[in-house]
Amino acid sequence: MPRAKTVADILTATRLLLAIFILLLGLFVGREALGTVMMVQLLAWTTDILDGPLARRDTSGKSTWWDDKDFPIDALLVLALFLYLTLSGFIVPWFSIIYLSLGIIFLFRFHSQQVAMSFMAPILALTLSLALREVPIWGLTTIAWCVVALVTGWPRFVHVVESFIEGMRALHPQEGEREESVNNAI
């Protein structure tokens, strides 16, 4: 499929546009848009699930600007969700400032995708919790979507979890490695 890469890139770009849309909902609509935000988030997650397999089906072997933008765009989507929650009054601004500041400090300190994921997960859990309380149909739909995604993409899920654990372990050297690095520093 020589055009699969182009479709995958369009899906990735669409996720960026959806992140901007979520932010705009926070700026101009507020709390009443939570159901719409959940629907947009599910659409974005669906594009995320589809773009990787499509890109791998491309037979042209060409590289594009979008190739290494998948995770940064995912992170921007979660940031847009967090800002939506703050702008809509679900999260108090002082907490958002502290949380984002800590996230930035940790990212600059460790330069790790796993650290970013550690800050993204609570935002996603909070969003789901709020949806279950405020717009239960969208909270339940999100849970159902997650179950279907897990069942249909279990090997990918296992790979992501294993990569996350390996990445976190790499941030904290084992005892022997720590002693060795201390001895090398002297």
Q: How far apart are CA 72 and CA 78, in angstroms?
A: 10
pLDDT of 73 > 70? The answer is yes
Confidence at residue 183, expressed as pLDDT on a 0 to 100 scale? 38
Mean pLDDT, rounded, for 166-184 = 66
Model pLDDT, residue 12 = 95
Q: Where are the domains of the chain?
A: 4-152
pLDDT at 2: 62
Q: Which residue has the higher pLDDT, 98 or 179?
A: 98
The pLDDT of 53-61, averaged and rounded, is: 85
Quick one: how far is CA 139 from the chain centroid? Answer: 18
- Look at residues 34, 53, 50, 8 and name the one whose alpha carbon lies nearest to residue 142: 34
Q: What span, in angstroms and rounded, lies between the C-alpha atoms of 42 and 30?
A: 19
| Cβ atoms of 117 and 171 closer than 8 Å | no
Distance CA 45, CA 120 (A): 14
- pLDDT at site 61: 79
Say what the alpha-carbon torsion angle 72, 76, 81, 85 is, to the nearest 10 degrees: 130
Contact 79, 47 (CB under 8 A): no
Q: Six-digit token pair at 8? A: 């995958």
Q: What was the pLDDT predicted at 172?
A: 82
Cβ pair 5, 55 in contact under 8 A: yes
| Total number of residues shown for the chain | 186
Instruction: Give residues with Cβ within 8 angstroms of 137, minimum separation 6.
Output: 35
Specify the DSSP element, H or E, that contains 21: helix 4-28
Q: Output the pLDDT for position 38.
A: 98
Q: State pLDDT tens for residues 151-172.
A: 999 999 999 999 999 999 998 8
Highest mean pLDDT among 2-11, 105-114, 169-178: 105-114
**Higher model confidence: residue 97 or residue 52?**
97
Q: Tell me the two tokens of residue 43.
A: 């659409």
In angstroms, rounded to a whole number, what is the distance separating the alpha carbons of residues 31 and 90? 8
Across 41-64, average pLDDT:
90
Q: How confident is the model at residue 62 (pLDDT cuts 50, 70, 90)?
A: confident
pLDDT at 173: 75
